[in-house]
Structure 1
Amino acid sequence: MGEPSPASESSAVRELVEAIGSDFAEFDPPPRRTAADGPLGWPGYADQRARAHDRTDTGESVLCGRARLGGREAVLIAFDFAFLGGSVGEEAGARVVGAFARARELRLPVISLVASGGSRMQEGIRALQQLQAITRACLLAGQDGIPHITVLRDPTTGGMWAALGAAADVVLAAPGARVSFGGARVRSAGEDGDDFRAEGKFADGQVDRIVEESALPEVLAELVALLHPDRSGPEAAPVPAALGARTPPETGMRAVERARAAERPRARDYLDAHFSTRFEISGDRAGGRDEGMLCGFGEHDGRVTAFAAQTGTANTPAGFRTAARLIRLADRLGLPVLTLVDTPGAANDAAAERGGVGPAIAEVFGAVAAARVPVTTLVIGEGGSGGALALAAPEDTWVTADAYFAVIAPESAAAILKRAPAEVPRLADHLKLRPQDLVELGFARGIVR
């Protein structure tokens, strides 16, 4: 049934729910569908359930209802580990599925506070089947534009990590929380460490942020405000104001030098200036993070925009997959997308090739092409070939005066053509990579002053 119960868990769940949201109103549980001793007639199961009920103030391993977080409401699903290890059988599964259905009906975000050892062994295959039902409930909510935010508490293992936690749009985790598909009692002897903790999951791109419990109310209220699904149809994201040079460069080589200058404004400068508040997500959910790709959601003049911003480095496969994840999520939630382009090109070392940099770039091209929401792009620095073009909006790309965009860097062009280094500036002119050239060639709509 999962991990040993933390000593202080028995009375903590309702307190946690009430600390996170005010005016919590519990949903009526669905009608009981199984006998007291469960579908398997497990010896002593009815007594186990009765004792768990006496120990806790919940009638099952999950507590579901709606609450107010800041100025918005959300549906809360909170697991009580003191109730049979937070395990999920038919009744708990029905509560979770019902909560997602209510969220769709009420048009409210879902917050799941997970602490579970997985499927309840006393109910056998009928418990295991709940993973399919919960997965479908999450999927249907997502298709309806309902965001799902999860908090991985200690411990989160087995099916509730795979079917609920890992499927969420935004994944938060408590410091030190045990998070793994196999619990400590069932995995290979000696296997432990950060790979099975929240910190390891963050490093591997499976968790967006580690959040202290005391900070959860504020962080969750911020997320609910940004992702609440009650906005009107998306308008194109406004183009941020330029922060650097005011006049275009005279030569192609000067454009390259400006874009490469260390003192030029970078993505964080633009995000800080453009958004009054923002929340960053992290990781590709497949084992990697790239700090050179900043993704998340921000508010500008009362409207929420999703953003994917390159920071001037050569992006790795994890960075491109994170950007694709962000764009697909924004499309599902009906949020416009802003991309900031600034990279000398995609990483091209052996590690990037092993990690699938080509398919990862293809994911971004595909996400932009398939997006039903408007995508707006501002080139703020280097526009290095396909690694930069993947994030560029085909019909709404703008450029700053200290940026360039090229099919290939002029130095690389010289190497391919077997030209002397002295000819690099002339090749930069031939490539027509200056901001004004990009406008003249129809790639950019204009230069942002």
Structure 2
Amino acid sequence: MAELVDGLVQFEEIVTDERVQPVDGPLGWPGYDTARTRAAESTGERESVVCGTGRIGGRRAVLIAFEFGFLGGSLGERTGDRLVAAHEAARAARLPVVSLIATGGSRMQEGMRALVQLQRVASESARTRAAGLPQIAVLRDPATGGGWATLGASADVILACPGAQIGFAGSRVRPADADPAAYRAESQLATGHVDQLVPPERLAATLGGWLRLLTAAGGPPAAVTPPEGLRTAPGGGPTAGELPADGWSAVQRARALARPRAGAYLDAHFEEYQEISGDRCGGVDPGMRCGFGLREGRTVAFAAQCGTATTPAGFRTAARLVRLADRLGIPVLTLVDTPGAANDADAERGGAGAAIADCFAAVAEARVPVTTLVVGEGGSGGALALCAPGNTWVTADSYFSVIAPELAAAILKRRPEEVRRTADELRLRPQDLVDLGLARGVVPTRLPG
């Protein structure tokens, strides 16, 4: 175990009563007993997984480590026993579960008796999830078959080693003409199935960071104080705290390239943070940043739009973040900044309506406090989907509107020169939103230094 994670200390193996298997296993597979003996002699282990408790980065966790040298890290009945015991220990001690996965799948020498272990693993993972305990998977090379589809793909946070082979189908059973790149960690990251690629030398530090964030909720969740507004350049525009004089000025300020974006707020607000990536459905939206940050010793989840039109993958990723935070009892901060939901043909084919609806539902159903700060454009329902009802704040660089003033003017068949008047009529300025009871207040802007 220690050779897999530098910095792992105080590791204590979880001992289980090893079931006695008949010679050559439940199927009487010729030579199976000899193969198990040979695997034990070459690896020094009695099974394909080792489970125990230990500390990484000062945080205790239950660790599950696959030994690929033991029959390809395959899952058999005794493997299932160990995985069940690991999850039971995690729930009893209220500890997160970290799985270091390297497996080729279920053990064919045990047939269906091996395959049904996936049901046991899925059930235990679901119980641990229901108990509000985080699960982190580290995908090593290879991570295929049922081990990927249960312990791996079901984890809350999925890390992968660069270049690792990842996929439900192993190299010997996939179609002959299959693109091998599709089964690599880099492709799984690009298609939203993995959160981060982590080189082995950074694994201990990254795991330690995630364990700090996911186990530092800081007691019952309380509402988040919205971050202060920022200014990137003193004298480069309206003075700190100055509100826009009219609607079109508000729109121009929100669209200005020089104003702070989500990244500036995240960097200024959190001492450290880690990001998740992807919707687990094949999509990634670079314009939606989601993750967990540490603020004064307390963890806060965040979903931040970055000024682009939000795609279905972005809404699904935000919904995933909100539901994970809710299950772990972590308050949520959303940063709103989008001209609206993506409305091109790809977005419609990608299920834009359903994705937006799911994001609305995730925020509405959250039991933890959700706080929203509108930092730029608030473009219609694509922005509103991330807003906390009754707990939304705005900056002086923002606007919020049922529709963009240019589009409103077009619908009303007004001339282009009437867009400015239309913006005023929409009452979209920060102070208008407060007066209308849609925002709690304008967050003061501060100058650097």
Q: With structure 1 as the length reference, what TM-score do the two structures score? A: 0.95
What secondary structure sits across from 2:372 in the alignment? Answer: strand
CA deviation after TM superposition for structure 1 residue 36, in Å:
4.2
| 1:125 corresponds to 2:112 | yes
Alpha-carbon contact 1:383-1:405 (below 8 Å) kept: yes
Identify the residue that residue 191 of structure 1 maps to in structure 2.
178
* Deviation per residue, 1:193-212 (Å, 9 max, x gap): 32110000000010000100
Alignment equivalent of 2:4, drawn from 6, 16, 21: 16
CA distance in 2, matches of 1:434, 1:30: 67
CA deviation after TM superposition for structure 1 residue 34, in Å:
3.3
Identify the residue that residue 290 of structure 1 maps to in structure 2.
285
Task: Decide which moves more: 229-238 or 315-324.
Answer: 229-238
Alignment equivalent of 2:163, drawn from 144, 156, 176: 176
* Deviation per residue, 1:240-262 (Å, 9 max, x gap): 01114412111000000000000
| 1:346 corresponds to 2:338 | no
Alpha-carbon contact 1:33-1:91 (below 8 Å) kept: no
CA distance in 2, matches of 1:99, 1:20: 21
Alignment equivalent of 1:432, drawn from 423, 427, 436: 427
Identify the residue that residue 157 of structure 1 maps to in structure 2.
144
CA distance in 2, matches of 1:85, 1:14: 20
Alignment equivalent of 1:361, drawn from 349, 356, 366: 356
Identify the residue that residue 421 of structure 1 maps to in structure 2.
416
The amino acid of 2:90's aligned partner reads: A
Identify the residue that residue 57 of structure 2 maps to in structure 1.
70
Identify the residue that residue 7 of structure 1 maps to in structure 2.
none
Identify the residue that residue 215 of structure 1 maps to in structure 2.
202
| 1:393 corresponds to 2:394 | no
What secondary structure sits across from 1:345 in the alignment? Answer: coil
* Deviation per residue, 1:214-261 (Å, 9 max, x gap): 100000000001112774111111210111441211100000000000
CA distance in 2, matches of 1:237, 1:36: 60
Alpha-carbon contact 2:226-2:373 (below 8 Å) kept: yes
CA change 1:414–1:33 in 2 (3 A) is farther
CA deviation after TM superposition for structure 1 residue 190, in Å:
3.1
Identify the residue that residue 91 of structure 2 maps to in structure 1.
104
What secondary structure sits across from 1:291 in the alignment? Answer: coil
Alpha-carbon contact 1:20-1:216 (below 8 Å) kept: no
CA deviation after TM superposition for structure 1 residue 14, in Å:
4.9
| 1:322 corresponds to 2:317 | yes
Identify the residue that residue 448 of structure 1 maps to in structure 2.
443
Identify the residue that residue 8 of structure 1 maps to in structure 2.
none
Alignment equivalent of 1:335, drawn from 330, 333, 348: 330
Alpha-carbon contact 2:218-2:299 (below 8 Å) kept: no
Q: How high is the sequence identity, in percent, across the aligned residues?
A: 61
CA distance in 1, matches of 2:361, 2:137: 27
Alpha-carbon contact 1:30-1:95 (below 8 Å) kept: no
CA distance in 2, matches of 1:74, 1:421: 61
CA distance in 2, matches of 1:408, 1:30: 64
- Alignment gaps of 5+ in structure 1: 1-12
Identify the residue that residue 90 of structure 1 maps to in structure 2.
77
What secondary structure sits across from 1:218 in the alignment? Answer: helix
Identify the residue that residue 281 of structure 1 maps to in structure 2.
276
Task: Decide which moves more: 399-408 or 224-233.
Answer: 224-233
Q: With structure 2 as the length reference, what TM-score do the two structures score? A: 0.95
The amino acid of 1:15's aligned partner reads: E
* Deviation per residue, 1:331-361 (Å, 9 max, x gap): 0000000000000001110000000111111
What secondary structure sits across from 1:378 in the alignment? Answer: strand
What secondary structure sits across from 1:443 in the alignment? Answer: coil
| 1:45 corresponds to 2:42 | no
What secondary structure sits across from 1:15 in the alignment? Answer: coil
CA RMSD of aligned residues (A): 1.1
Identify the residue that residue 6 of structure 1 maps to in structure 2.
none
Identify the residue that residue 240 of structure 1 maps to in structure 2.
227
CA change 1:152–1:283 in 2 (3 A) is same
- Alignment gaps of 5+ in structure 2: 232-239, 445-449
| 1:405 corresponds to 2:392 | no
What secondary structure sits across from 1:51 in the alignment? Answer: helix
Alpha-carbon contact 1:86-1:118 (below 8 Å) kept: yes
CA deviation after TM superposition for structure 1 residue 118, in Å:
0.5
Alignment equivalent of 1:249, drawn from 244, 250, 253: 244
CA deviation after TM superposition for structure 1 residue 64, in Å:
0.3
* Deviation per residue, 1:5-51 (Å, 9 max, x gap): xxxxxxxx55214x251121111023315334221121111111111
The amino acid of 2:373's aligned partner reads: L
CA deviation after TM superposition for structure 1 residue 58, in Å:
1.5
Alpha-carbon contact 1:109-1:229 (below 8 Å) kept: no
* Deviation per residue, 1:104-161 (Å, 9 max, x gap): 1111111000000000001111111011110111111011111000010000111011
The amino acid of 2:71's aligned partner reads: L
CA deviation after TM superposition for structure 1 residue 192, in Å:
3.4
* Deviation per residue, 1:282-323 (Å, 9 max, x gap): 000110101100000001111100000000000111111000
The amino acid of 2:251's aligned partner reads: V
Alpha-carbon contact 2:218-2:297 (below 8 Å) kept: no
CA deviation after TM superposition for structure 1 residue 69, in Å:
1.0
The amino acid of 2:253's aligned partner reads: R
Identify the residue that residue 57 of structure 1 maps to in structure 2.
44
CA distance in 2, matches of 1:366, 1:82: 45
Identify the residue that residue 234 of structure 2 maps to in structure 1.
none
